[in-house]
Every structure is written in structure tokens, then in C-alpha cells.
Structure 1
Amino acid sequence: MALTRRDFLKGAAALAVAGGAAPAAAATEPTRSEARAFAVEGLDPAHAGLRVVQLSDLHVGARTPRERIRDAIDRANAFDPDLVVLTGDYLCRERRGVGLMREQLGGLLAPTVAVLGNHDHWVDARGATRALQALGYAVLRNQNTTLQLRGAPFTVIGVDDRLTGQARPEEALRGAEPGSRLVLAHGPRTADDLRGAGLPLLCLSGHTHGGQWHVPGLTPFMLRTLAHEPYERGLYRLGAVQLYVNRGIGNSALRLRIDSDPEVTLATLRPA
């Protein structure tokens, strides 16, 4: 939807007002547990009702309270999931964040699979990978892996970060078994590339923080025009591809969130 100049100015004014009230708003911005159901083509009957928890954009460091991260991990475990997936941006701006990853991101009890995000590549991709692996989490960089879940094979396809030029979806899909499968990608626009494969896929992503400072109308407009990011939050359908954009847990450039509360997602998979 195109915005008129009047709409844009109204949105800008609303953002200014929101910014003035930001400290109070941020203090009461709770983490929200989101329950979503997805119909997945080719899903093995053994995986009907499979529970997948998604955490994204944890951004360890000064901008994200440690208590929020640990609360998200506790929430993830409380869902008693079959699988946990992490969709990138564990770091923020400093290399010391690699040590904080080891301190703060441990304790997930279900099998856990991760991909990297743009901040991880900007700061220390190797360090972030090693930190995740030291915690017992698998890291996929344009790769796929098959796990035995509920007694049947389940394939996770991990596409590396698109913004930093690391994404190679064709390579990630190579050799992936048909049937039960799930795609992880930090950048939502990876779904545009997956769409060209013509395969029915469910892709879980993050990156946008749901706008972080969300002003209806204005924030999506700014994401589209300045960041060239048309997918802000929630579910999108791109041909045979279902894309879900998680609002994330942490903060990046700003320490505050407005109308974009941190999100722990429980994705329940159903046969299409």
C-alpha cells in the first residue's frame, strides 16, 4: 500500500511521540510467547503436531538484558519442544559477545539447530559458530541435516545470511530429503530466492525485530524504502513458500522496543 505525504507526516509525528515516551514503554514491553500452526506439504504422519520453538536475534551485550535472554530460554524449554531453531544475530557489535554467547545462550534441552545472521558475520562468524557448537547446538551454513524426531527423519535446511552475501540456497537444498523438512534463514528475503526452486517449503526467519519501533504504516514503509525489506513480521506466502518472520528477542541499534515485544515462537507442524 502506497503512503501519501500526509500519511507519512502523520506517521513521522507518531514516531516522534513514541520516541518521547519510549523509556516508559520499553520498561513494560514483555516477552510474548506466540503459538503458530503451519500446514506443511509432505510432512511425515509421525510429525503431525511436531513442536518447534524458534528464537531469533538474541543480540547478547549491553543492548539486551541478560534476564530477557534467560527468560526466553526458560520459555523455550517450558514448551517441551521436539526441536529448537535459532535464526541468527547472536552478536551485536563487539567481539566480547562471543564469550557472552557461551555464558547466556546455554541450557536449551531439545535438539537445537542454528544459522548465522548479518551481525554474526560483521563481528565474528567463526567465533559465533564455535560458541554455538560448544553449547551443543548444530550450525548450518548453506547445509542441511537430518534428525530422527518421533522416530522418523526430519530435515533442517540452513541458509546462511543473505545481507552479507553468504546465502547460497541451492547449495543448502542440495541432497535434502523430501518429506518432513524446514528451512532456517536469518534474512526474510531469502524466501524470494527459495520461491524460485518451486518447492513447497516453510521458512523461519528473523532480522527485522518486527520493526522494533513499530508505527503502523510508517515502519513498514521505512523498511521497504530504506532497508529494501518488504517482510516485517508474521506470516507471508510466496508461491509455494511459507515465510514466518519472528520479532526476535534482543535489541540492536536501539535499546528500546515499541509495539514490537520480544517473541518466543512455538510452531506446531501439521500435514497440509
Structure 2
Amino acid sequence: MKIESEKISRRSFLKQLFKFSFGTVLLSSLGLTYARYIEPKQLRISRIQLQSEKIPKSFDKIKMILFSDTHLGFNYSVEQFSNLIASINEAMPDIVLFTGDLIDAPNKYKEIGPVTQLLKELRAPLGKFSIYGNHDHGGYGTEIYKMIMEEANFELLKNEHKKIYNKMSDFIYISGLDDGMLGKPNPEKTFENIDTNVFTILLAHQPDLVEMVKDYPIDVQLSGHSHGGQIQLPFIGPIFTPSGSTNYVEGFYEVGATQLYVNRGIGTTRVPFRFLCPPELTIFTLRSLQ
């Protein structure tokens, strides 16, 4: 009886071990399938109000849409981009903002024309604005990206600011820094002659650039680059964030007197996975406290 019991226990142990191993492999396979094919296509829309006494009354309820990091060509197609453009237009923004990394490898990309046309179709009566990301400068892409944005009627802000008028005398500033990795960000030039009493939005690809500009007259910095880490684990958070987004990964932060918002981006880079970190469009509504 003792020998038989030992055999039964051994068989039972091996059976449980097989079940556990099979279950682990199955869950891992399902998790990889979800992270590779499902979550990267689950676009989330974040809706946020920006309130300030510096926002003119005529800008109350003005809607801005922020998108970032499409990385076209790396597991993100023109067809997907077309759907994104349709989603943005359906939201009827007054202002469209793009914070860089349009194409993953600009000098190797073959569908510049269709992408330019789709960007041109974005409708925003108060303007469309963009900045350089590291991938826009990388791959000999600086002039390619500039050409795309100019033909698509975007204002490409490189260490400069623009006045955005809603009524004849009412305006806010939208400013843009050059990329912090492959460009030459120059805050002094960017904020030269800015009226500190006017509401000022800064577009900066890397969120960590806020440490460079936090003492300048900025009300809100909008950034991308981090992808939210792309892969997050429960109780741990993102397992990797790129240089330039190690301190600020996603969502809102307060850095001195500046509010910082980090968008998770649309596409993926390096690895084609997203887990607990879906792609994001952010819709900001301006609210005047005057």
C-alpha cells in the first residue's frame, strides 16, 4: 500500500505540474497576443479641462486635441492613421496639437504622400501646430518632416511661439521647443518677449524638458515620447521608459508653477506591444476663470 500511495502521489504531482506549466504557457501566449494585436488598437480618449484666470472669456470652451508618437511604419499603418484622423475630425477640435515622432524611420518610409494628405484633412479653425520629436530628426528626417508639416498646413514650432487669436484682441500663446535629444532646444528664444499675463502652452516632445523650462512663463507643458512606458505591470508600473521621460511618464504633474501633461502616444516603437497602457488621444477644454 505504501508503494502504491507513493506512485499515486507522484502521478498526482506530475499531473498538477503539467497543468501549471500548460496554464502558464497558455496565459503567456494569450497575454502576448493581447499585447501585440489587441491593446495597441484600443484607442482611449482622455477629456481634461484646463482652467485659468489668464484664459480670456472668448476662449472659454475652446477645444484642443493632442496626439503624439504615431511612429508610422513600425506596426502602424496608413489605414490606421486614416482612422485616427477621422476620430480627431469627429471630435471637432478648434486647435490640433502634435508633439512629435510622426514616422519611425523617415528616410525609409514610402508613403509620405498619403500621410501628408491625411494630415492636411485635419480641420481646426484656430490652427494646427506641431514640434519635432527625436524620430523626426532621426533617419535624416528633419527636412522630410518639415516638408510634410508645411504641406499639411501645420505650424511647425521650433524654439518659437505664436499668438492664437479668437477675437480681435483676445489671444493665447502656443510655443514649441526643438527636440531635446537630436535637436537644439532653446528656451530663451522660445519665450522671448512673451507677455507673462497671457496664458501660455508649451509643446515639448520629452516631458523631462520641464526641468529646463520650469522657471519660464509657462502655464501648461504638453509632451509625449514616453508612450506611457508601453508595457506596465500591476503594482510595478512601466518596466522601461526612454531617455527624456524617466521622471514623468503619463498624465498630469505639477512642476513648480507649471502643469505638465504627458500623453501615452498612438503607436509603438522598439517592441510592438502595449500592456495596461493603451494608446491615447487627449481632448483639452479651456475654461476661463475671468
* 1:211 pairs with 2:229: yes
Shift of 1:210: 0.8
Match of 2:83 in 1: 71
CA distance in 1, matches of 2:235, 2:118: 35
Letter paired with 1:176: I
Does the CA-based 8 Å contact 1:18-1:258 persist in structure 2?
A: no
SS of residue paired to 1:70: helix
Match of 1:128 in 2: 145
CA distance in 2, matches of 1:75, 1:120: 23
Q: Which residue, 276, 280, 288 being the options, matches 1:259?
A: 276
Q: Give % identity.
A: 27
Question: Structure 1: which 5+ residue stretches go unaligned?
Answer: 1-16
| TM-score using structure 2 length | 0.80
CA distance in 2, matches of 1:71, 1:219: 29
Does the CA-based 8 Å contact 1:69-1:249 persist in structure 2?
A: no
Does the CA-based 8 Å contact 1:247-1:262 persist in structure 2?
A: yes
Q: Which residue, 43, 48, 52 being the options, matches 2:55?
A: 43
Query: Which residues of 2 match residues 236-255 of structure 1 at below 5 A?
Result: 236-255=253-272
Q: Which residue, 101, 108, 117 being the options, matches 2:122?
A: 108
Shift of 1:238: 0.3
Query: Which residues of 2 match residues 168-183 of structure 1 at below 5 A?
Result: 168-177=186-195, 178-183=197-202
Q: Which residue, 89, 104, 118 being the options, matches 2:134?
A: 118
Does the CA-based 8 Å contact 1:89-1:119 persist in structure 2?
A: yes
| TM-score using structure 1 length | 0.85
Does the CA-based 8 Å contact 1:140-1:158 persist in structure 2?
A: yes
Question: Structure 2: which 5+ residue stretches go unaligned?
Answer: 1-26
SS of residue paired to 2:207: coil
CA distance in 1, matches of 2:251, 2:203: 15
Cα shift readout 1:91-147 (whole Å, capped 9, x = no counterpart): 212414371642553311002000010111112111101111111111000011112
Shift of 1:70: 1.8
Cα shift readout 1:65-106 (whole Å, capped 9, x = no counterpart): 333322221121112111000000112124143716425533
Does the CA-based 8 Å contact 1:205-1:246 persist in structure 2?
A: yes
Does the CA-based 8 Å contact 1:54-1:87 persist in structure 2?
A: yes
Shift of 1:175: 2.1
Q: Which residue, 25, 33, 39 being the options, matches 2:45?
A: 33
Match of 1:92 in 2: 104
Indicate the structure (1 or 2) with the bigger Cα radius of gyration: 2
Shift of 1:154: 2.4
SS of residue paired to 1:39: strand
* 1:55 pairs with 2:67: yes
Shift of 1:40: 3.1
